[in-house]
Chain A
């Protein structure tokens, strides 16, 4: 019965997809603001990012800090948290990918960072420097910030579906236009990414396909 055989084949394929797809949804999110830091020669030095964690995640982080209080209070706890986050993110390039002219930019080490609590939301603010400053005039920079596992979704601060004006700004002399492009993933790529085993070497990460792209074009 070929029709039966085909049915079972499809079923088996579906079963094999399960381990990859089961995690295919975010459990929390980060509202992000990005500021490009340019030096006086119009070279990009780094990205100043501030990440606001969603209310629930913020709550449970603050819960932990509150319990650990005692030595130094909440402030000390937040400082320590900043160090931990930095340490956890360093191997992942701080979830950030930068591209100019099809080339991926090398990133430096984050040394300036801080964590604070504002209006019940925990905010991680840091300056991500480029390894070497890069002249931006007459070029377009593309960047994506995403959690590869897609456990957390990273999005620019927005009101409804419209990004806020200050979600992406450029600091410096150059005049640049900015744009935040919503994710428009090629479904097939998404499927492929979901199927990748965590041990696979190919660029992993479902998060990439759901990430917004920031575009900055300078004169």
Chain B
């Protein structure tokens, strides 16, 4: 099978990287240095923010290839460290991969798609609200709050969907049609292309992550977490616009997304590896049927966790202030304005 051979080949180093990351993570948690690492990350990120602001300001003065390279390098670094802290997107993605399963390729695709979508949403917000409708930047930053609420809601819905799916799987009687458990059985046996991935649940190759490959929930995951831009990104784009350097801002945000994607895919790969390890253990210890049921319960647990996270986030809404407490609410837009009565707009 060419496909399997390819996957094995490509997977080797990725597995290595993932294992390494997982090991580092475990080691850090064990040694209690997780906290000091997060402090270190915050200070690196802070330095990158300063450097980034300066780089864009400089670029508006004397654009040389060197300043461009500096800008893009800094943006990438900022993206990497920006994403290194905990965030709800990463929590959702890793929980999804851990409990629903997914191959390395899917983990990477999800990470990159979600990160890029975040950048693209920020760019779209600024293009539509600031360039199109003539809002000031701070109002556009305020709108992030609404997009964010939408994102939390979608996370909760995604969780609910995953729960439903898991329950349906758990209630489905274990199929007895294929008694010989050869991995090829399902492929020989897939007359219905629309249910090619579904009908084998609880059956033969539950160890194959592809089994759970359901691109609809994957897509929903990408949208739910990718739709939420960082208000910092909107701020950057707004400032770049004011400097007459919008393209520079767009380039910076996109490169930043790539940096973010790198960090996120590290986490995603670690989840895939952890899941694979658990599945293999399960396969060794229990019967096919029992293992299938356990995995079903894991999907249910993951769905519940994601739903709970979405609900708690949309209730508390604490993830990021819409504006600096110093300045209070952005000015309201009289007639054409959206309602601006956000519960945590000003804080001051």
Contact = CB atoms under 8 A, between A and B. Distances in A.
Given A14-B86, A187-B38, A91 B319 contact: no
Contacts of A147: 324-326
A84 B328 CA distance: 8
Interface residues of B, number: 58
A57 B326 CA distance: 11
Interface stretch (A34-42, A61-69, A104-112, A130-138): A61-69
A189 to B, nearest CB: 9
Given A11-B95, A18-B87, A151 B38 contact: no
A185 B39 contact: yes
B186 to A, nearest CB: 27
Contact of B238 (A15, A17, A60, A197): A60
B305 interface: yes
Interface string A128-168: 00000000000000000001110111000000000000000
A27 B50 CA distance: 10
A55 interface: yes
Contacts of A202: none
B143 interface: no
A190 B321 contact: no
A88 B326 contact: yes
A188 B39 CA distance: 10
B327 A210 contact: no
Contact of A15 (B137, B309, B326): B309
A126 interface: no
Nearest to B86: A21
A84 B327 contact: yes
Tell me if A's interface is mostly helix, strand, loop or mixed: helix
A188 to B, nearest CB: 6
B204 to A, nearest CB: 23
A83 B324 CA distance: 16
Interface string B304-330: 010011001100101111011111101
A27 B235 contact: yes
Given A63-B242, A88-B325, A92-B348, A56 B319 contact: no
A67 to B, nearest CB: 6
B137 A63 contact: yes
Contacts of B313: 18-19
Contacts of A84: 327-328
A20 interface: yes
A64 B138 contact: yes
Contact of A91 (B324, B327, B348): B348
B39 A20 contact: no
B193 interface: no
Given A55-B53, A190-B39, A19 B316 contact: yes
A73 interface: no
A67 B53 contact: no
B73 interface: no
B12 interface: no
Contacts of B321: 23, 149, 151
Given A25-B42, A26-B49, A88-B326, A18 B331 contact: no
Given A4-B278, A28-B324, A149-B325, A18 B309 contact: yes
B319 A27 contact: no
Contacts of B82: 25
A59 B39 CA distance: 29
Interface string B52-96: 011011000000000000000000000000100111100100010
A88 B326 CA distance: 6
Given A21-B86, A64-B136, A88-B348, A56 B53 contact: yes
Given A23-B320, A85-B326, A14 B348 contact: no
B243 interface: yes
A89 interface: yes
B88 A68 contact: no
A188 B50 CA distance: 26
Contacts of A59: 238-239, 242-243
Contacts of B35: 187-188, 190-191
A11 B86 CA distance: 12
Contacts of B242: 59-60, 63
Contacts of A10: 29
Interface of A: 4, 7-8, 10-12, 14-15, 17-29, 54-57, 59-61, 63-64, 67-68, 84-85, 87-89, 91-92, 147-149, 151-153, 185, 187-188, 190-191, 197-198, 210
In the complex, the 8 A-B pairs of residues with the closest C-beta atoms, listed nearest first: A187-B35, A88-B348, A56-B239, A60-B137, A187-B36, A22-B319, A21-B86, A27-B232
10 contacts: A8-B301, A10-B29, A15-B95, A24-B38, A27-B324, A28-B235, A54-B50, A149-B325, A151-B324, A152-B325
Given A15-B308, A88-B346, 8 more contacts: A19-B312, A19-B318, A56-B235, A60-B136, A148-B325, A149-B325, A151-B325, A187-B35
